[in-house]
Amino acid sequence: MMRAKGRPVLLQTDRFELRSVTPADASDRWLGWAKDPAVMGPLNLPARAMRREELAQHIASVDNNARYLVGIFDKASGTQIGFFMIDVEVMHRYAIFNVAIGDKNWWGRGVVNEARAALLDHFFQARGIEKAVGLPLARNFPALFNYKAQGWRHEGTLRGQCLSLTDGSRLDQYQFGMLRKDWQRLRAKGAPWAS
């Protein structure tokens, strides 16, 4: 049964606009990220050529209730530089956060934690989420760095959890967690990535 569309996300940080994407955002730029192994590999997704219509259909399937697709847009230029995929387990009030920064010019420039801080504020305060979860591959060193730098708790290692889509090997996956009360405590301390 198809769930009704929920309220889209629209947030601002110092450098970025974060908003639920629409099929009109299915750009050549985004299609380029989809076929770039350096962008898709850390997510353990196959790099593949897609048609604009396929991407637009995928975007249209997101309901802003149980699944969100939130674009990260540079405020200065209006250009999309990446996106968050957020899956919500409504009954248990937790959300799984995944991110891809497709524009390599923005790699290593603090995009993930600046944008994710705003999303955590929003999902904890306005969407009823009580826990956020991150599930990066153990080999995704930039993601591990970002989770640790932002104060997420390493809750466990899922040994051999995923099958590598490039070579068929078994990959370890980490689970990071952030409870709403822990996030509120970190925010009260004024962490630099929280602006």
Considering only CA atoms, which of 21, 7, 116 is closest in space to residue 65?
7
The structural domains of the chain, ordered by start, are: 10-194 (3.40.630.30)
What is the per-residue pLDDT across 146-159, written as a single tens digit (0 to 9) for each? 999 999 999 999 99
For the cut 50, the answer to whether the pLDDT of residue 1 exceeds it is: no
- Give CA separation, 158 vs 47, 154, 172, 174, in Å: 24, 11, 6, 6
User: Are the C-beta atoms of residues 18 and 71 closer than 8 Å to each other?
Assistant: yes
For the cut 60, the answer to whether the pLDDT of residue 98 exceeds it is: yes
For the cut 70, the answer to whether the pLDDT of residue 192 exceeds it is: no
Q: In the prediction, which pLDDT does 138 show?
A: 93
**Which whole number is the average pLDDT over 7-34?**
96
Beta bridge partners of 158: 173
Q: Which amino acid is at 90?
A: V
What percentage of the chain exceeds 70 in pLDDT?
A: 95
For the cut 60, the answer to whether the pLDDT of residue 90 exceeds it is: yes
Structure tokens, 153: 């708790």
User: Are the C-beta atoms of residues 101 and 82 closer than 8 Å to each other?
Assistant: yes
Q: In the prediction, which pLDDT does 61 show?
A: 94
Structure tokens, 99: 């991110």
Q: pTM value? A: 0.93
For the cut 90, the answer to whether the pLDDT of residue 43 exceeds it is: no
User: Are the C-beta atoms of residues 80 and 27 closer than 8 Å to each other?
Assistant: yes
32-58 per-residue burial string, b: 16 or more CB within 10 A, e: under 16: ebbeeeebbbbbbeeeeebeeeebbee
Q: In the prediction, which pLDDT does 164 show?
A: 86
Pairing relation of β-strands 131-134 and 94-101? Answer: parallel
The mean pLDDT value of the chain amounts to 93
